[in-house]
Amino acid sequence: MTPLLPSGRLYGRGGRTRRGMALVITVILLALITIMVLGFAHMVRHETAASSAHLDRACAQGYSQMGVNMVTGVLRKHTTDGARVWASQPGALILPLEDASGSSLIRLGRRLPLHSGLPGMTALALAPDNPLAPANLNVQTFNDQSPVTHVITDQRTDPEDSTSPVATLPLRWIYLRQDGTLDESESPVLTNSANPIVGRFAWWADDESSKINLNTAWKRNGSNGETGVKSPLGTSHPASINLLSLATCGMTVDMVDRMHTAIAPDPYDYSTVKRFFNSTRELRDLDDGAGNFTTVLNRAKFEVTHYNHEPDTTFFNEPRIVLTTDKAKAAGRPFIDIKKDGATEIWDPIAHTDAAKLADTIDLLNSYLKRTDWPVAPDSSFQAKYYANKPERLTQLSLNIINYVRSKESVGEDVTKAVVPLRGDQAAGGRFQLKEVASSDIAFIGVTRAPKITEMGLWVAASGSRDNTYQAKYKLEIHLPANFGLDQIDLTKMSLFLTASGAELSGAPGETDITTAEIEGGNAILTAGGYASITRTSTVRMTGARPTTVNLRAAIARIRRLDVAPLGGAAACTLDGPGVAEKDIHSIEVDDPRVNTHRNDWKKRDYGNSFGRKNDGTEGGVAIRTLGKASTTTPRQDTDASGVITDASLYMPPPAGSTGNSSGQVDSMGELGYIHTGMESGGGAGVPWRTLRLQPNEDSAAMVPDWAFMDLFTVPVEVPERARGMLAPHGTSTAGRININSQVQPYGDAAQVTSPLERFLPLVALLTGVAATTSTGDCDTISIAKARTIARNIYNRTLAAKGKKYGYAETYDSPGEIVEIAGVADGGEESEAVVRGIASLVTTRGGVFMVYSIGQALKQTPNGNLVITAESRQQTMLERYSAASAVGVTRFRRLEHQPLAP
């Protein structure tokens, strides 16, 4: 029998078992707790590491963002003050000098980098795995390996050698210490344990306007042999930027058309826009399985973008004046505001023009012509250049601009299709007064699409009647210049006014329509380039001895005066003796048909006359006609490639909507090259064959060049509502233009790098297919090969033989400065055709910047080494703009952002 313990429990083997089990359970529990503690500690250790890694990653992203903030800060500081001018290029802003004030604020004088700096030679020599080696933006991207490509460009260090390595884009690091201070040293102190380095960042900002906008560019018909879909869009439409220039990258006509029709299913009409591309990568969706678009876009990625625009302001930071009289086409900007309310035509100045608006517009243009603070030629003005001794004549130049716009936009008078010139005089206060009849010494008349009076004479019979009345025959030559907008004109549809006066001589026939009988040969139709001789029989009265000189004035009219010669006082002409036959009388004539408005423009011929043919006489032994002779005036007259005077700019546009003027509007600022600067009307003799010179300037570098005037203007471009967000973002900017400041800083500058990076295909796209004039006068188009040559000249700022650098010598201050470059417009007046093809498609600044930035979180070890703990790369599109609702207020926004792998 088993004994009982005092407690009553059994004592023996079973009790010991229970105590053992309790011990085992206790040990197990302790083991579990230990494991849990160890697991928790392990978890904490890993979580701490993960948290640290996450924090490092967040820090790296923040450091990378600092690069974007740096660019934004620079743009805010330097591009938002309306008193300061600026320009841009990839990697840099062009600004006034730091101590600039007053008018110097609109003169460019320095380059400010939009990057963290080009590394020095010592840093560039470091091995890539050295912690202090420079940042490289252009790394291979691992998310795009078919084929292998790089983040920014696949361009080789030697573009002509496909086996050379892909270009790197090295940058200086900006180091950040623990207390928040920045250290810009390339060899920072790594032994400062009290304030160690915790991170670094680098950045570079590209200018998207120096690229081809794939959403707006298309082609020019003349560059592709008229194959594919023909573009109906005008010279100044960004669709004229020619994507066929990417042929060296594999682009074909078919691919170009597929890109455009993907945007606008009806390729002729932007109002049918389906959608625009949100990135250049989207074009790969157009591939037909052969990967052609992928190949092209990889090769051209450094040259193309999907979005850009420029502010479309002058280098006075003011809105450009739109060369149109149509308020709707001006889209809220300043324009040639002269139309009467409700007027649909503009050919009749009295019926269609508001006199007060016209005076205001002339005052606006004159205010620019008087300015003496042109950034490219300080202390000079157009008034001093053309009217130094006759400042009251300045209105003539403004009037010529306005009349050209009127002629471009007008169908013309119903019968003749001519445009009646604006005519008037100047009030005591200097304001222009529109008048139908104005013949004072401060009178003005414009040049329009109309015939011109070029020769006059008078024959008087040997004997008269008892009351001293003599038979007289008034001789008049009417010329219809070639390329003056009219193929022909019916002279019998016009009336003729004639008057003669002189010592003891008076009398004039009444103003009546021209008759066929009065026209030599009887042909009433005067064709372009032709001369018509008209004889009107009348009488004059002589009360004394027969004078040897008579003063003549004439006018031709259709509804109103089409031409008046001279405009002021009559011109003196030899009155031959009674024995001279009618056919042999002396006449007076003019050289340039446009320069016939002052009595001193009319020259007395040494012999006979040239009625009905080109004026070819002499006065005092000097040829009246100066074409083909050297220019001796300052400013220079129009000359051809050989340097002799030419009539190449004797031009007026055909009626609106007709062949040669289908748009019915000014298509390019380059058309300002047709504006005559030699007319002086009542102010004195004019200078024949001289128009605004859009060529290398042969005058003094201190004199404002004519091409600077182009920067004041822009032209109307149709922007359908569905395409407005792309073609005219914010209503205050224009998309698709090419920034001619396209040399990439610092990587494209041969003075800073041994293997310059190139970006000149956008300039090739600007030029390819542009109409040009050959040395023989034939029309041609610029081939891709020739465009590449000229583009390199533009890219490298290679001056023409007579070219000059203006303003800041390292960049282009004004779009017009492109004419100083070799191959652009250095072939004489005829070469201005190239300027007309590109003038409205170039800029010197952009409003969209692509910022590439890299940030790294670092740990500084006790032994003075750096350990990279995290890295972040970003690509951020930054937009600078002014909203139409808040003009003058500059805003910035991050338009798109994406992290970059690796």
pLDDT tens digit sequence for 745-787: 999 998 898 889 999 999 999 999 998 875 555 578 899 999 9
Q: What would the mean pLDDT of 315-335 be, rounded to a whole number?
A: 92
Q: What would the mean pLDDT of 691-716 be, rounded to a whole number?
A: 92
pLDDT tens digit sequence for 1-40: 444 444 444 445 566 677 778 888 888 888 888 888 777 7
- Spatial contact of 2 and 12, defined as CB atoms under 8 Å apart: yes
* pTM for this prediction: 0.91
Q: Rounded mean pLDDT of the chain?
A: 90
SS3 content of the chain, % helix, strand, coil (to 5): 30, 25, 50
Tell me the C-alpha distance between 82 and 848, whole Å: 19
Q: How many residues does the chain have?
A: 902
Tell me the C-alpha distance between 407 and 486, whole Å: 11
Tell me which of 146-160, 205-219, 302-316, 459-473 is least confident. Answer: 146-160
Omega before 378 cis (within 30°)? no
Tell me which of 83-97, 132-146, 222-236, 829-843 is least confident. Answer: 222-236
- Spatial contact of 844 and 87, defined as CB atoms under 8 Å apart: yes
Tell me the C-alpha distance between 311 and 731, whole Å: 10
Per-residue model confidence (pLDDT) at position 12:
53
Torsion angle of alpha carbons 287, 291, 292, 293, nearest 10°? 60
Q: Which residue has the tokens 């093809």?
A: 837
pLDDT tens digit sequence for 538-577: 999 988 889 999 999 999 999 999 999 999 889 999 999 9
Residue-wise DSSP of 589-618:
E-SSTT--SSGGG-EE-SSS--TTS----E
Q: What would the mean pLDDT of 260-273 be, rounded to a whole number?
A: 86
Half-sphere exposure of 608 (CA within 13 A, CB side): 10
- Spatial contact of 856 and 684, defined as CB atoms under 8 Å apart: no
Radius of gyration of the chain (CA): 38
Per-residue model confidence (pLDDT) at position 163:
86
- Spatial contact of 247 and 784, defined as CB atoms under 8 Å apart: yes
Q: What is the DSSP letter of 718?
A: -
Q: What would the mean pLDDT of 806-828 be, rounded to a whole number?
A: 94
Per-residue model confidence (pLDDT) at position 13:
57
- Spatial contact of 63 and 857, defined as CB atoms under 8 Å apart: yes
Check whether 128 has a pLDDT greater than 70.
yes
Tell me the C-alpha distance between 518 and 516, whole Å: 5
Per-residue model confidence (pLDDT) at position 225:
44
pLDDT tens digit sequence for 608-632: 999 999 998 999 999 999 999 998 8
Q: What is the DSSP letter of 579?
A: T
902 vs 434 pLDDT, higher one: 434
pLDDT tens digit sequence for 353-390: 999 999 999 999 999 999 999 999 988 999 999 988 88
pLDDT tens digit sequence for 40-99: 776 666 666 666 778 889 999 999 999 999 999 999 999 999 899 999 999 999 999 999
Residue type at position 738: I
867 vs 19 pLDDT, higher one: 867
3-state DSSP assignment of residue 140? strand
pLDDT tens digit sequence for 136-186: 999 988 766 677 888 999 998 887 788 889 999 999 999 999 999 999 999
Sign of CA dihedral 520, 523, 526, 527: negative
Per-residue model confidence (pLDDT) at position 658:
94
Check whether 833 has a pLDDT greater than 90.
yes
Tell me which of 26-35, 390-399, 585-594 is least confident. Answer: 26-35
Check whether 424 has a pLDDT greater than 90.
yes
Q: Give the C-alpha distances (Å, rounded to integers) separating 883 from 732, 844, 880.
A: 7, 21, 10
Per-residue model confidence (pLDDT) at position 421:
97
Q: What would the mean pLDDT of 725-735 be, rounded to a whole number?
A: 91
Q: Which residues contact 504 (CB under 8 A, 6 or more apart)?
A: 542, 543, 544, 545, 547
- Spatial contact of 442 and 392, defined as CB atoms under 8 Å apart: yes
Residue-wise DSSP of 780-812:
EE--HHHHHHHHHHHHHT-B-TT----SSTTS-
Q: Which residues contact 397 (CB under 8 A, 6 or more apart)?
A: 365, 369, 382, 386, 387, 675, 677
- Spatial contact of 597 and 553, defined as CB atoms under 8 Å apart: no
- Spatial contact of 300 and 262, defined as CB atoms under 8 Å apart: no
Per-residue model confidence (pLDDT) at position 134:
96
